[in-house]
Amino acid sequence: MSDSDSSSIPDITLQGQGLTKVYHTGSVDVHALRGVDLELREGELVVLLGPSGSGKSTLLNILGGLDSPSSGEVTFRDMRISADDESTLTRYRRDHVGFVFQFYNLIPSLTARENVSLVTEIAKRAMDPAEALALVGLAERLDHFPAQLSGGEQQRVAIARAIAKRPDILLCDEPTGALDSQTGILVLEAIERVNQEMGTTTAVITHNSVIGEMADRVLHFADGHVADYQENSLRKGAHELSW
């Protein structure tokens, strides 16, 4: 939609305004988000950094259409998606959002290729599953079942699955959380490649501050709001990171 736009500032893909989230558990109210404003611009890679319990996952869930905010609005391009309409949320997830989780969440009864096909079958402008897997470096492991793949490989299948439908936004929740650093970097390289080659707007949640160095922008989360904000004039390559 912004193809004709010649301005140097990219369009806003996803925007959250005044987002709050209160969980009522028993007699206690937990304020997971206390008024968050943020925007994700076309093609940028944003890292949301913060300790566990700071509300970053809640924000990601709301941005991804898995949850609704208690107040505030989420706008995807021109579409308001904070509505409590289940089928709108499902359509939004189906057509525009790719998810990557800490625990991969692959379907154990499907091979790598079939796990990706699961998504391409229901997407509108999907790429070939083999192509998506090649993009994350798994061209040789197409017909392996999850049980036959290492943790890093499984996570890269999850990334291939997330990007195969050419989503507008890729949301990654602690994608390296269950991996050792060497494997983690392989996974980050795959994310980086998707972001750069396909231009997919990407948000990565992590508590690992090193990962922030590969982002365009880093949002520091604490106590349910954005406590600090930092723009990297120079993005590091994922292969340059170490922890």
Determine if 221 is a binding residue for another protein (CB under 8 A): no
Determine if 103 is a binding residue for another protein (CB under 8 A): yes
Antiparallel, parallel or unpaired: β 225-231 and 217-222: antiparallel
Show contacts with another protein in window 149-168 (CB under 8 A): 161
Show contacts with another protein in window 30-59 (CB under 8 A): 57
Smallest gap from residue 167 Cβ to another protein (A):
10
Determine if 197 is a binding residue for another protein (CB under 8 A): no
Q: How far apart are the first and last CA of the chain?
A: 39
> Which residues does residue 74 pair with via DSSP β-bridges, in sequence order?
16
Determine if 64 is a binding residue for another protein (CB under 8 A): yes
Smallest gap from residue 119 Cβ to another protein (A):
6
Burial pattern 153-183, b for ≥16 Cβ within 10 A else e, equals bbbbbbbbbbbbbbbbbbbbbbbbebbeeeb
* Cβ nearer to another protein, comparing 43 with 177: 177
Residue from 95, 131, 213, 216 binding another protein (CB under 8 A) = 95
Residue from 16, 50, 146, 175 binding another protein (CB under 8 A) = 146
* Cβ nearer to another protein, comparing 105 with 181: 105
Residue from 41, 93, 193, 207 binding another protein (CB under 8 A) = 93
Determine if 130 is a binding residue for another protein (CB under 8 A): no
**Nearest alpha-carbon partner for 15 in 76, 70, 61:** 76
Smallest gap from residue 142 Cβ to another protein (A):
11
Interface positions with another protein (CB under 8 A): 57, 61, 64, 66-67, 86-87, 90-91, 93-95, 97, 99, 101, 103, 105-111, 114-115, 117-119, 121-123, 143, 145-147, 161
